[in-house]
Amino acid sequence: MLGRRSPQCGFFDAQSVPHRVPVNSFYGRMGAASAELFHDDDLADMYCPDNGRPSLPPSLMCGITLLQFYDDVSDREAVERLLFDMRWKVALNLPLDFAGIDPSSLVVFRRRLLEHGQERYAFDRLIEVGRAAGFIPDRVTLLIDTTPVKGAGAVQDTYTLLRKGTRKLLRAAGYHLPGKRQALASQAQALVATYLDRDHKAEIDWSDPQQRAAQLRVLVQDAEAALELVADQVDNDEVRTMGWLLTKILGDDLDSDESGIPRLAHGTAPGRIISSSDREMRHGRKSAAKRFDGFKVSVATETDTELILDIADMPATGGDGRQLIPTLARVEEHTDVAVERVIGDGAYNSGDNLAACATYAGHAIDVVTRFRQVKDDQTDKTAFAIDLAAHTVACPQGHTVTGQGGHDRAGRAILKFAFPRPVCASCALFADCVCSKTTGRTVKTHAHEYYLQQARARQAEDDFKALYATRCTVERKIAELVRHGLRATRYRGGSKRLLQRLWIGAAVNLKRLFVLAHDQRRDLRAVLARRTQPIPANLAA
């Protein structure tokens, strides 16, 4: 049953006694607004309306969770700070003799948020406050960027992945139960005992290549035997999932030599699994020299207020630009604003993104993004003058050819330009410009070449330079999020990870709202007191 915070003030409340917490600190400002920051009725649907003991007030649990992510502390440390940290008592307006809560209460509260689809509650609540206070306009300019974050699972080598994968598959099939083992043949029983009764690396000399190769063959044979053993249980969802995992590890990490003996494959397969405990983790790169293991987090901020309007996970593999259109959709859906411009680095400058934004949902979105600068390279595609209307292209030496229609790999219409080889052979740039041994230089347009040409031409204008210079704001905001624990993923599972990202973003946004209210001399408590969500029907009656 829903529990509520009492509006009565006590003699020992932190706000009623002298303390040394500065009133203009984050904790002091949060304490001044704590009564209206979160409302118990907003989360009433998470509790039974008429049965059971009263719960811990959800407004209090929201405040504790927000402070936990703001200070980047564990559940147990959060409970200790409730008892002994005056800053937390002031921020939550708790009595000095507050009895505290059990750490499991935070686990249960997060589970309730996820089960009822309320993981966005604090983040959306503070965005609504920013809108109600007039800080966030109806039409916004977004600054967008990504940052790598670590996953919560352990990164494992191929040997460990095979061992853990085989163990999980056998356990999913129920062979950890003694009764089910009795019906197995002796060889199968030995296999099950090896992986379920003990789980540790083989005791070999791992510095010896021959012993490692022999151990790999054993693991592969055992994995294939386990897959064959559970082949008749494909109707079991868990067995099917674990079987897929083990099959993918075998396919991604291994190949065979000339004799058919398994060996570690060279290179990294796309989408390779790197952890059996968190199967969504991947290898990723921010640059050729910087690799990370985990995920990327996309962050979008409003340019004037620096409030975070969207924060979300994305896979570690692939380019950042894939997140642009989903980010725009989430911002407009959850914040009730129209995005009129988005500013991002060169990862967002694909022709597909430019075309999608030019025709986005009934209103065009201006994309400010940088293209690679090519200096003194007369053989680059950008040095060729492509006339899309006339279907012609002129090379840097003045030779012009007419294009032929074609299609790219996605089946979209493009133009192909082929210069005659004799013409190219007589050019001084032939050796640097032509790679083919039989034909001359060929140039292909992109399916959205028109938008790419416009964006490249705009890059030389002064207004572009002024707009693009504001992009550093989002990098500063990402650095602030990292200070509050963004880079260390706490949980496994997409919804749990999203909860962590959103509540860290909410804490950073609350800090920014306090600054905006102070600078613009706005009474944030009055704005917070306005109910921005309807009272649930079972309470309105």
Q: What is the pLDDT of residues 302-350, one digit of tens each?
A: 999 999 999 999 999 988 999 999 999 999 999 999 999 999 999 999 9
At residue 533, the pLDDT reads: 46
Place of tokens 């959060």: 78
**Once rounded to an integer, what is the mean pLDDT over residues 366-392?**
87
Q: What is the pLDDT of residues 250-289, one digit of tens each?
A: 999 999 988 889 999 998 888 899 999 999 999 998 777 8
Helix 494-519, helix 103-115: angle, nearest 10: 100
Task: In whole angstroms, give the CA distance from residue 254 to residue 225.
Answer: 16
The pLDDT confidence band at residue 11, using thresholds 50, 70 and 90, is low
Kindly report the average pLDDT of the chain as a whole number: 91
The pLDDT confidence band at residue 541, using thresholds 50, 70 and 90, is very low
Cβ-based neighbours of 258, under 8 Å, separated by 6 or more: none
- Give yes or no for residue 534 having a pLDDT over 90: no
At residue 161, the pLDDT reads: 96
- Residue 349 gets which letter from DSSP? -
- Give yes or no for residue 248 having a pLDDT over 70: yes
- Give yes or no for residue 57 having a pLDDT over 70: yes
Q: What is the pLDDT of residues 172-209, one digit of tens each?
A: 999 988 878 877 888 888 899 999 988 788 899 999 99
Q: What is the pLDDT of residues 341-352, one digit of tens each?
A: 999 999 999 999
The whole-angstrom distance between residue 30's C-alpha and the CA centroid of its chain comes to 28
Q: Which amino acid would we find at residue 455?
A: A
Cβ-based neighbours of 268, under 8 Å, separated by 6 or more: 283
478: its two tokens: 């990402």
Cβ-based neighbours of 153, under 8 Å, separated by 6 or more: 275, 276, 277, 278, 281, 492
Share of the chain above pLDDT 90, in %: 72
Q: What is the pLDDT of residues 100-141, one digit of tens each?
A: 999 999 999 999 999 999 999 999 999 999 999 999 999 999
The pLDDT confidence band at residue 145, using thresholds 50, 70 and 90, is very high
At residue 538, the pLDDT reads: 36
260: its two tokens: 């058919």
**Once rounded to an integer, what is the mean pLDDT over residues 74-98?**
94
